[in-house]
A and B are shown apart, each in its own frame.
Chain A
Amino acid sequence: MLNGHCLETSGNGSEMLTDAYRRYVGDYPKFFKMDGLSRLGFIASELILQRLGEERFTPRTDRAVILFNRSGSIEADVHYQSTISDPDNFFPSPSVFVYTLPNIVTGEIAIRNKYQGETSFFVLEHEDQPTIQAMIEASFEDEGTTSVLAGWVDYTDAHHFEARMKIIIKE
């Protein structure tokens, strides 16, 4: 759903994200290296940013990316753990390990958009809007920040994920 309207998608679970990539993005093959959380955050951010009507992909330091969730990077954590659990089948994977930090999704969004402002990630036990609102507002204490791409981006596994994102602009 974007700005109150449903967008057409197909596919179950995480296939929907790949389908959305093909329909609405299509020009960023790095998408296929990303883990679930990063794909989710990337797609959500692309859908918003494509329709903002502003110039994109020019380096800027005044847009912050501040995301929240409950599950951290659990999908990548479980995946990485599976590469080290069996001593007879021990193959620690660096490409999986890199995604075992939830803030990587903010890095992926920053790289795509050349956002050189603040990127932050916070984990809360539940989605508490007053806390989230207070923290987003307080981020403007950084005088260099004029807008924030903010949201709740939670990915537990291929069939359990949600993202709600918005842009907040300083008056």
Chain B
Amino acid sequence: MAGRIAVAIADNIISPLGLTSEENYMAVKDGRTGLARYTGQWGLPDPFMAALIDRESLPSLPDEEGLTIFEKMVILSIRQALSQCDVDVTSERTLLILSTTKGNVELLGKSTTQRCLTPSCPLLGEAAKTIANYLRNPNLPIVVSNACISGVCAQIEASRLLATGRYDHAIVCGADVLSPFIVSGFQSLKALTDEPCRPFDIDRTGINLGDAAATIIYRGVAADALPSGAWTLVKGAVRNDAHHISSPSPTGDGCYNALRYVMQGACEEDIAFINAHGTATLFNDEMESVAIFRAGLSQIPVNSLKGYFGHTMGAAGILETIISMRALNEGIILPTKGYECLGVSKKINIATESGHTDSRSFVKMMSGFGGCNAAIRFCEYQS
């Protein structure tokens, strides 16, 4: 049982660009974006650019009264992914792992008490339990709350627990819903721009945020039973900069260490592209370029998907992995929307146009508040 490998068998994305992974991927191929400019939204004094979901347009769920928007999006995403495979969500051998930064934090603005007195209250574990109960999964759900790297961490956690053989499947869903809490918070850090974001670009001025839910269902498969064409999570790592709680290490220590770990056993030529975090802040993109350079990976095409979806926080690590897998299924390296001219100190290879590749391996990397960084190397298994 031990040593089973995590294989992605189904996925879903819900974002302003669509309700399925396919819809979202086609929109990205078409170069479309979910970003729009909002002035006076929620009474916030400063305008911002974000990819907001039209909540009224979400499909209904049976017995959805009492569910928050966050819970609804997670359930919709998981159900849509489940419909593509034969996984039994009610089995105790199926584990639910959620990735979110703020979950139901919107509820704080609607309540005057700080204790959890209602079934739907702002604690992440409560929301996860509500979701697990709705789906009739019997296990205690795990919530990964590791800032913006949560989506990558959740996939790494899934691969670890599937390797133990205790579970056959892990449903990994990441989601975050924007709110005055989140937007005003990022604005207070002067991290946002009200223009379309420009990852790695010399004129970049900050982040756009986005709503999304994204799910990957992983199956634990023995190494000698891998299906041809299957996406496998080969190696993952989380590493801290040990530098600052809200700024990345200028030498990209954590990111570099994570990259180095996941590249063990691979060579540069194998990797089709690195899907970076690329949030378009001055510090993040510079740091990632330093880490990529230090790791000796400067020739590998690098892209960021933030120009299509915005920064979707808890969903980002999963959503961007799905889009990357779909692109590589077709041998495509997607361009970095919003990028024109290199604006980082290391000469890395930012993908500007849709490119072709025969490699079937990519690296997903992310960084987050708290000094954490994560990377995963995915390979499409060829028998």
Q: Which residues of A contact B (CB under 8 A)?
A: 59, 61, 65, 70-72, 74, 77-78, 80-81, 84-85, 87, 90, 92-94, 97-98, 100-104, 106-108, 110-111, 113-126, 128, 131, 134-135, 137-139, 141-142, 144, 156-157
Tell me the B341-383 residues at the A interface (CB within 8 Å): 368-372
Do residues B164 and A97 form an inter-chain contact, with CB atoms below 8 A? no
Contact with A along B220-258 (1 / 0, CB 8 A): 000000000000000011111111111000000110010
| Interface residue from B122, B153, B188, B245 paired with A77 (Cβ < 8 Å) | B122
- Chain B residue contacts of A92, Cβ below 8 A: 184-185, 187-188
Interface residues on B, range: 35 or more
Tell me the B278-327 residues at the A interface (CB within 8 Å): none
| Interface residue from A65, A72, A138 paired with B124 (Cβ < 8 Å) | A72
| Interface residue from A59, A103, A141 paired with B146 (Cβ < 8 Å) | A103
Do residues B114 and A134 form an inter-chain contact, with CB atoms below 8 A? no
Q: Which residues of B contact A (CB under 8 A)?
A: 43, 45, 101-103, 105, 108-109, 114-115, 122-126, 128-129, 140-147, 153, 157, 159-161, 163-164, 166, 180-181, 184-190, 236-246, 253-254, 257, 261, 368-372
- Chain A residue contacts of B129, Cβ below 8 A: 125
Task: Give CA–CA (A78, B108) in the complex, Å.
Answer: 7
Do residues A135 and B142 form an inter-chain contact, with CB atoms below 8 A? yes
| Interface residue from B125, B145, B369 paired with A107 (Cβ < 8 Å) | B369
Do residues B184 and A84 form an inter-chain contact, with CB atoms below 8 A? yes
- Chain B residue contacts of A80, Cβ below 8 A: 181, 185
Task: Give CA–CA (A120, B242) in the complex, Å.
Answer: 13
| Interface residue from A124, A137, A144 paired with B125 (Cβ < 8 Å) | A124
- Chain B residue contacts of A113, Cβ below 8 A: 242
Q: 6 pairs across A/B with beta carbons < 8 Å?
A: A70-B123, A77-B102, A110-B240, A111-B371, A115-B242, A138-B164
- Chain B residue contacts of A128, Cβ below 8 A: 140
Do residues A90 and B45 form an inter-chain contact, with CB atoms below 8 A? yes
User: Beyond A80-B181, A110-B242, A128-B140, is A101–B188 a contact (Cβ under 8 Å)?
Assistant: no
Nearest B residue to A69 via CB reads B125
